Amino acid sequence: MMNRRILLSLSFGFVFFIAIIAVNVYRPESTGALNPWHGDCSICHSVHSAPGQALSNDAVVEVLCLSCHGPGGSAATVEVHTNTSGSSYPSFRMTCIDCHNTHDNMLNCFTGINLKSVGRKITGATYARISTPNSGIREVVFESRGTSVGDPSLHSFADADQDGNGTYDGSCEVCHTLTRFHHNNSGGNHNHQLGRTCTNCHNHDNHFHR
């Protein structure tokens, strides 16, 4: 009788041990590795007694991001992307996870790794993409901050297809079709502050407005 109890306890212990290893080794496909600056899951997720409607829709994620990255938080202050007030173009609102994969710096289609978690895993592709407002799903590449921080302009915010592959895949230009400069095709003017850090003037904490 005693031996059976010990055996049962050992069996439970073994199963528990394996489960812990499995949870730590396996991560669901949608999450991937974690960005080092976000620490571990518990920074954003509360498994037990999660406050609010935890992570159930984009709006909740936006509030979660801005709880640290908003004006009251201690991290770098950012805002969602909107068009300027009084714009003659249709209004839009790109929230955090329209551009950023909050869990990972993803591989891009050139097998480099994107900076700042730019790009999402969309339609089964293993590399970074963005679902653009009016150009469908596109590859996005963001490996350089641009010449103004001393890096090469190739694969920066808007590099006017510097690699000559026919796609305009910088993190800013990938969506733009109605802006004055840097459309996501060969048309229009691609010379404006080419390869530079767009966010020096179009601030992320001001909806990317000037």
Task: Name the residue nearer to another protein (CB basis): 68 or 115.
Answer: 68
What is the number of other CB atoms lying within 10 angstroms of the CB of residue 84? Answer: 11
Task: Name the residue nearer to another protein (CB basis): 68 or 122.
Answer: 68
How distant, in Å, are the alpha carbons of 37, 49, 75 from that of 32?
15, 24, 23
- Nearest distance from C-beta of residue 27 to another protein, angstroms: 17
- Nearest distance from C-beta of residue 56 to another protein, angstroms: 10
DSSP string, 77-113: ----EEPPTT-SSPP-EE-HHHHB-TT---B-TTS-B
Task: Name the residue nearer to another protein (CB basis): 35 or 132.
Answer: 35
- Nearest distance from C-beta of residue 95 to another protein, angstroms: 11
Task: Name the residue nearer to another protein (CB basis): 60 or 137.
Answer: 60
Task: Name the residue nearer to another protein (CB basis): 53 or 87.
Answer: 53
Is the Cβ–Cβ distance between 130 and 94 less than 8 Å? no
Give the burial string for 45-76 (b: 16+ CB within 10 Å, else e).
Answer: eeeeeeeeeeeeeeeebbebbbebbeeeeeee
Say how far apart CA 34 and CA 54 lie, in whole Å: 18
Helix (H) or strand (E) holding 131: strand 129-131
- Nearest distance from C-beta of residue 17 to another protein, angstroms: 20
- Nearest distance from C-beta of residue 81 to another protein, angstroms: 13
- Which residues in this chain contact another protein in the complex, by CB under 8 A? 39-40, 42-43, 46, 48-53, 59-60, 62-64, 66-68, 70-74, 77, 79, 205-207
